Amino acid sequence: MNKIYIVTLGCSKNDVDTTLMYSILDRDKYVITNNVNEADIIIINTCGFIAAAKEESIDTILECVEYKKNGICKKILLSGCMAQRYPEELLKEIPEVDGIIGTGNISYINELLDSTLAGNKVIKTDNLNSDYIEGIRKKNVQVTEYVKISEGCNNNCSYCIIPQLRGINRSRKIEDIFDEVMYLVQNGTREIILIAQNTTDYGIDLYSKFSLPKLIKELSKIEDLKWIRILYLYPDHFDDELINEFVNNDKLLKYVDIPLQHVSNNILNKMNRKTNKNDIVNLINKLRAKVKDIIIRTTFIVGFPGETEEDFNELVEFIKSFEFDKLGVFAYSREEDTPASSLSVQIDENIKELRRNKIMQEQSLISAKRLESLRDKTFETIVEEKIDKNTYSGRTYMDAPEIDGIVYINSNIALENGEFVQVKIKDSLNYDLIGDAK
């Protein structure tokens, strides 16, 4: 029986795809291993979103190729966004790669494995807009689980390659998502994180209206589900019905991740974003006015083609004025086959990095100030890891896993991973909190 090891790169949506691949493996032929040194076949689930992600994917592929050269594994397969984007080039430039499966072809993983082991080099990238694989039930369920509610994207932002790699927006049916979440909760999950390329677009293709509020209402009926967190809430369809769900639904965490990307109307227009500065300001003000203790995370892109000093300074002043709780910033990555790549006024890489560093310096000060204001407050916290005898790490509603901060929890009583405890905040760092379990 051949042992399969999968390396997952990129975003949480790739994590879900890896879980799907694991779940549909033919267990009469293939078994999962968590030890790369035992693997007969290594699959690298690649990311191809920006240049840095592609570089990481290539480096990882080359590292795994060494296992094949040294006789440790038999075959190297590629999946994910970069595999979808450059299948022929990857097979040509890295001949040790034995097969490629695209983002819409996960259901063919067993056929690909069989064919590869028979000595064939296979590329399967044709089903870009395929339906989501329903009915798969994950083994080894965790307290926190990601659930993909749709695939693909209709935004067509001028800098983004994702619609070419993931296809058009395709929402899953509410009943299918409900069944998956019910299964997860019955097997120990307490926090679900709903993800998609753009979660606010959920349901428009199936129900002829934006249906994220309806989905949230249905999932909230699951009794033992404690926390619902949502990522990638694009601002253009963040309507009052959705805001009211954040106001009134106790299971829906008061945490929103809204990728704004910029605030200058000049740049938003060049980006082909479906919003403007006035709409963005109104949305943020409305959220803060209506949703008590709302945490707002966002991301921005600096150095976009044609971004002037005036545009950049407008963004900096906006960030200083609105003091976002969580913020990430990326230097624009020029991606081939996107409209932005052909724009004439490309920004020097050094300027991009200077602008990125400027914003991160400002955000570090903002974050430190906002976290310091939380001292002596008590928050329900999910325990995630034991650090030493009396210290644990965990997260409050204010932090999504891996992208936000953590809480260092001091406790004289043993805590279990996945346990929810009340923690009184005693101190803070730039991005993390320190507290005592009560």
Binding residues: 11, 47, 81, 153, 157, 160
- Answer positive or negative: Cα dihedral of 67, 72, 74, 75: negative
Q: How many CB atoms neighbour CB 65 within 10 A?
A: 18
Question: Which backbone phi and psi does 117 adopt, to 5 degrees?
Answer: -65, -25
Distance between CA atoms of 399 and 432, rounded to whole angstroms? 10
Cα of first residue to Cα of last residue in the chain, in angstroms, is 50
Contact of 139 with 131, CB cutoff 8 Å? no
Supply 376's token pair: 């002596």
Contact of 67 with 39, CB cutoff 8 Å? yes
Contact of 194 with 228, CB cutoff 8 Å? yes
Binding residues for [4Fe-4S] cluster, as ranges, are 11, 47, 81, 153, 157, 160
- Answer positive or negative: Cα dihedral of 56, 343, 154, 295: positive
Reference 108, options 116, 119, 98; nearest CA is 116
Supply 157's token pair: 């932002």
Distance between CA atoms of 424 and 254, rounded to whole angstroms? 19
Contact of 262 with 290, CB cutoff 8 Å? no
Distance between CA atoms of 66 and 113, rounded to whole angstroms? 20
- Answer positive or negative: Cα dihedral of 25, 26, 27, 31: negative
Distance between CA atoms of 49 and 157, rounded to whole angstroms? 13
Quote helix, strand, coil % in the chain, to nearest 5: 40, 25, 40
- Tell me which amino acid residue 76 is: I
**221 three-class SS:** coil
Q: Where are the alpha helices (DSSP H) in 5-161?
A: 12-24, 51-69, 80-85, 87-93, 109-117
Q: How far is CA 123 from CA 47, 100, 112, 128, 214, in A?
A: 17, 5, 8, 13, 39
